Chain A
Amino acid sequence: MQRRSFLLGGIKAVGFAAAGGIVWSAALSSSKANALSLRPPGAVVESEFLKRCIRCGLCVEACPFGTLKLSGNGDVPLGTPYFKPREVACEMCEDIPCVPICPTNALETELVSRDGKLDYRTMKMGVAVLDHETCLAYWGLRCDACYRVCPLNGEALLIELKHNERTGRHSYLLPVVDYSVCTGCGKCEQACITEKPSIFVQPREVAMGAVGKHYIQGWNPEDEGRLDVNRVIKPRDDAASELNSFEFNTDDFGGEK
């Protein structure tokens, strides 16, 4: 009888632990789900960032402009740093004080350095996305508020000229973002004059596609170096390979010669 009650007690404890674990995990997965928050410069990818961030707020204290905030609501996982460019954009400090102070490498100095030196131009907090429907410049009106405040204007944000067919005598002055240069500081979003900003920063994982490693730019010597000329592609041993293995001949399909 004693053994039986011991076993029952053990099963009860494990059952309780499992129930608690499931509830706990569910609460965590819902808090992890949101990938739409903009992180401080030098942040590692969001999933890894959530693992490493100890939520101490040292980066927030280091920020001299009050850009970085700690999350206090459900939109962003509790206690993690984020910023809202429409409220306060990142000023891209030369000494990037928020990054080296991170004790857990959730913000990595290497990610904002070039040749071993901190370089604000390497920041990749996000990327500015432009809504052509609501941007006044795309209506043909003269507005270059975003271009004027862009710290890297002429590189990250360009103005493209295009003939305005509607009036027949004017030019569009269209802001265009170069994703390879844009740091996602959000000065443009803060300055945009439309009611809800027509140019706004999104996390790079959200706004950008990925071409895949099997595409190689033949015109780009650096990228072409990835091409392995000695690689032999072995045919697979399946039905699809069988179809592809014989010489293609239109006769086989009853086509005309």
Chain B
Amino acid sequence: MKILILRRIVQIGLLVLFALGSFAGCKILQGDISSSLFLETIPLSDPYALLQFFASGAFVGSTAIIGGLIILGFYAIFAGRAFCAFVCPMNLITDFAAFLRRKLNIDSLGEGAGFSRKLRYWILGLSLVVSFVMGIAAFEAISPISAMYRAIVFGSGVLSAGLLGALCVFLFDLFGQKHGFCGHICPLGAFYSSISHFALLRVKYDNDKCTKCMKCKQICPEPQVLNIISKESGSVNSGECTRCGRCIEVCADYALKFSIINFAK
């Protein structure tokens, strides 16, 4: 439970800080997840949004580029795809949908719609092509993630769009496909997956302690990343691992844990 609680504290804590910035003039964190200002000095920007900007031919300022590099560096070098599990507000929705699927036994009906996990990379690629053709950041214009964040941070005026976006994702994940949005559709998750191959923070697996109960694979939102389970000890190297820690928490044998990979070894 500890990692889950930590994730919820980070997710909701960031939302609260952004909302305080918007409603109470608190200067710790201003803006929202697409671009923000930390302590009135350090810019932070969504690197995937900036990638779409470059594709669309927009000339953005150095502030946004510096902010994008900071975020890109943090996830690419250290945290991997942890954005999806620790920051993204949609994770609250999709985790809740996955929880309901388990409780209501919807999972027993099968995976659902049957979209491929590769679809998100196609959407990622397509978003850049459409950005280039249309001259506007394609995913930013329709992103349910940004819409939901805005709804919480800025309230009334933008509430309905954010709620509708979140509701669509919720219903799709609940009835459409298991882990449907985050695991198959979302190009932002695909972007963080593709930059996370060399991130230091990884889940480490000890085959000697494992009793092959496979609970980790059942709970994992990206079970294909746990392909070493019951085969060999090692670390989970796929960029698609969200570092959510569910596998670690569900494991009764202490066979899984977070580790900072040591390249010197």
CB-based contact A51/B32 at 8 Å: no
CB-based contact A58/B53 at 8 Å: no
The residue that B60 contacts in the complex, of A24, A52, A55, with Cβ under 8 A, is: A52
A69, B138: Cα distance in complex, Å: 22
Chain B residues with Cβ below 8 Å from A144 are: none
CB-based contact B22/A57 at 8 Å: yes
- Nearest chain A residue, comparing its CB with the CB of B153: A57
CB-based contact A103/B45 at 8 Å: yes
B194 within 8 A of A: no
CB-based contact A72/B141 at 8 Å: no
Q: How large is the interface on A (under 10, 10 to 19, 20 to 34, 35 or more residues)?
A: 35 or more
- Looking at the complex, which of B158-166, B170-178, B207-215, B245-253 is the stretch in contact with chain A? B158-166
CB-based contact A57/B32 at 8 Å: yes
A173 within 8 A of B: no
A241 within 8 A of B: no
What distance in Å separates the Cβ of B256 from its nearest Cβ neighbour in chain A? 35
B112-147 CB contact bits vs A (8 Å, 1 = yes)? Answer: 000000000011011101100111111011100011
CB-based contact B35/A60 at 8 Å: no
B218 within 8 A of A: no
Q: How large is the interface on B (under 10, 10 to 19, 20 to 34, 35 or more residues)?
A: 35 or more
CB-based contact A72/B61 at 8 Å: no
Given A17-B126, A27-B142, A51-B56: A104 in contact with B154 (beta carbons within 8 A): no
Most buried by A among B21, B35, B37, B57: B35
B179 within 8 A of A: no
A152-167 CB contact bits vs B (8 Å, 1 = yes)? Answer: 0000000000000000
Given A25-B133, A55-B146: A48 in contact with B58 (beta carbons within 8 A): yes
CB-based contact A17/B157 at 8 Å: no
CB-based contact A21/B122 at 8 Å: no
Chain A residues with Cβ below 8 Å from B230 are: none
Chain B residues with Cβ below 8 Å from A57 are: 22, 31-32, 150, 153-154
What distance in Å separates the Cβ of A112 from its nearest Cβ neighbour in chain B? 15
Chain B residues with Cβ below 8 Å from A56 are: 31-32, 34-36
**B interface SS class:** helix
Given A61-B30, A70-B157: A51 in contact with B45 (beta carbons within 8 A): no
Given A72-B159, A103-B61: A28 in contact with B134 (beta carbons within 8 A): yes
A69, B49: Cα distance in complex, Å: 21
Chain A residues with Cβ below 8 Å from B162 are: 72
B43 within 8 A of A: yes
Chain B residues with Cβ below 8 Å from A92 are: none
Chain A residues with Cβ below 8 Å from B46 are: 54
B67 within 8 A of A: yes
B227 within 8 A of A: no
CB-based contact A55/B161 at 8 Å: no
Other A-B pairs, 9, CB within 8 Å; known A52-B60, A60-B154, A70-B154 = A13-B122, A21-B126, A25-B134, A28-B138, A54-B50, A57-B153, A61-B30, A70-B158, A105-B60
Q: Which residues of B contact A (CB under 8 A)?
A: 21-22, 25, 30-32, 34-37, 43, 45-46, 49-50, 53, 56-61, 63-64, 67, 122-123, 125-127, 129-130, 133-138, 140-142, 146-147, 150-151, 153-154, 157-162
